[in-house]
Structure 1
Amino acid sequence: MRPRGSPPGVAALCTGAVLLGLTGCTGGAEERQKDAKEPGESRVGWQKGEVRPKKLGNPCALVSDGTLALLDLAGPARETSMCSWSAGSFESVLRTLRVSVTVTEPENDLHKATATEEAESAFDNYPRASFEDEDPRELPGLGDGAIAAGRGSAERHLVVRHRNVIVYAMADTTYERVDYDGGRVPSDATLDAALLAAAEDVFAAVAAPLDERPAPDPAPGEVARLRPACDGLRARGARLLPGAKPTEISPEGGDMRNCYWTTADDYAIAELAVEVQAMPPSALTQRTGIAAANGKLAYVTEAREAEPVTGLGDEAVVDPEVNYLHVRRDNLLVTVRDIREGVPDDQGLADMKSLARTVLAQYE
């Protein structure tokens, strides 16, 4: 509920300010008092180009339908501590986008600072430790300052400051193979695109548009379009896991493809799974697809202490604790998982390598 006497949007602004560690997020009569000058006192006022809180209106309405459609979402937002949209379920494919907008004001009480200086200080002191495990990185050229995080996770973060406005956005997706119901599973690249689009929507709406940020051109050898993951794997999967039928995830229009086989009885579950991603060039990070794929594999290698595998793609690693094989060739990432009971480790690795080679051969 919006506090009585506050202009529309101030409640959302203040919650965003708490997220960013700001104080002094005000509105209504208190804002008007700050604009008034005390006799004989020099006060900092609004500077040219700065955005005033009243211009924001309802921040949840600033995110466009086109941005939401990137994650198959639709409005209106659920307004809690920030604007939130979600669709799907934890049992199948869940997609979420959250956005918070903060507009800082001139400071005249504790010190003298313009609204832009207050935003710059807040951004510089942003609690980056909360992203420490997600590879936070600066994004030069995006607004007056930007940080992105989430290299190896399905949860992606973006913080952008432009003038005296700070936008925080988070996008994530989870899916459960066993209960998959046909929903599209967004890739890392789609999550990043949704974050950038949400920030662009907000800044454009408050007349502080961001500069255009086109994605770099694809590097030679990059794969642009994925084939259905189960093509070419059916016979091999049937041999490795008799009695199991392959299930295709994201068969239409998806950014990633996943084929899995599973059997279950009262005593055990056996599973084979193959996931394929073709990392595209990113407007958000300004990385080529090859660089993005290389970064994700490096994250997996470091986070899981995975062991290198030779003679497969450009580079490959295996995580023996959870029986995952990760392979990169150019911008293509292939992940194979084998949790069959009673299969020796060396045989399991050989079978995973065989599945990965079959996928790679489809793109030669």
Structure 2
Amino acid sequence: MGEHGHGDPHESGAVITAGDGESGKYAIDNPGLPPHRPRVADEDPKAAKRSERQVATLFLISIIGTVIFFIGYFAVELSEDLHALRLQNTLLGLGVGFAMLGLGLGVVHWAKTLMPDHELVEARKPLRTEEHRQEAEQIIDEVLDESGIKRRPLIRNTLIGAAVLAPLPFILTLRDLDRSEDFGMDRMRHSLWEEGVRLVRDPTGTPIRAADITVGSAMHVIPENLREVSGHADRLSEKAKSVVLVVRMNPDEIQQVTPGREDWTHDGIIACSKVCTHVGCPVALYERHTHHLLCPCHQSTFDAAQEFKVVFGPAGRPLPQLPIAVDEEGFLIARSDFTEPVGPTYWERGSTDPEGDYNA
């Protein structure tokens, strides 16, 4: 403590203060804004014009990228040829990339080289009165004037073109998720599975003998008649609805059997849709000791021993079960299609379901 008694750092001299009065509590007074350093484009009209052309060029690259996307989307016809699919994917990817990159770099380069870069400090005011509203309009007009968008028509026009065209690839991609007119719950209720259709391995198409499936194993299967679907896009659409996971456990480990489903399994072999009932991710992880199936997207967990009941996660209903049997040659076959729609629980699903197998 010594001669400075109370140990107050301000009284002991340990803290150096500057200024008088209220500002004396701080070691360094507010130095204010640093002096503005003009850029080359601020002082050289030729440099400013060069920067303007560079910004316009970047916007044109964005426009060209959108055109490349359209070429890949409309001009490349999909077929069984993988080269065409790869070409289309390349054009779509490059097109979207250049469209977004050109637009983003153009705006950044414009801001760094041509827009005013003076630092300003302005107190915030509540915009309540008509006078304040007019002041806000004046500020907006000043911003537009300072940005140079009014006196630089080359930048303005290329920016408008790039900004209008750049979102179109995303709009077309979202629209192309499903082109059919009958999309809805009824469509998702039906898949390629029907009575007598064999379960085959995905992707080899090899039929599966029940005797070859060991206890604790799981395999991904598709309907044998998938190969009969013509058209690459249609085949992918049907496969997305029809993919199934088959697991085998000891028959006495199956804890729950709903009345009417007693013949849906065979000697501990049970099958379900792979499409998660949350948002449609593929359920592909099987833990043999707990008989749990895990969706890797949001960790929804289903119990195969309890007819794929949800035991954890955001999924709202069990995975639809596929009724299966064995034909005369010992191969696994479907007894019927799924008795409920596969995939996520949409808002259309509710108590009006005629079979009453599920709730929203």
TM range (shorter): under 0.3
Q: Indicate the structure with greater helix content.
A: 2
TM-score normalised by structure 1 residue count:
0.23
CA radius of gyration, larger in: 2
TM-score normalised by structure 2 residue count:
0.24
Q: Indicate the structure with greater strand content.
A: 1
